[in-house]
Amino acid sequence: MTIGLPEAQWFKSSHSGPANECVEVAWLDDGQVGVRDSKCPDGPALVFDARAWSAFVTSV
């Protein structure tokens, strides 16, 4: 699902470079995970349930 999440608390990996070009993640109140492009913080975000996010992180 793609939505905007203006109240989410976004963070990015400590491994991200100084160019600030990476994805940002937010843990959402309902147990879901938001993901957005750090270069477009006002743009849409993808939302995944916890199980899908866990599977993604494990496979990466």
* pTM for the model: 0.77
Mean pLDDT of 25-33: 91
Q: Rounded to an integer, what distance in angstroms lies between the CA atom of residue 45 and that of residue 25?
A: 9
Cα 31 to Cα 41: distance, rounded to the nearest angstrom? 21
Domain enclosing residue 19, as ranges: 2-59
How far is residue 46's CA from residue 1's CA, in Å, rounded to a whole number?
6
Tell me what the mean pLDDT of segment 38-52 comes to.
Answer: 89
Domain count of the fold of the chain: 1
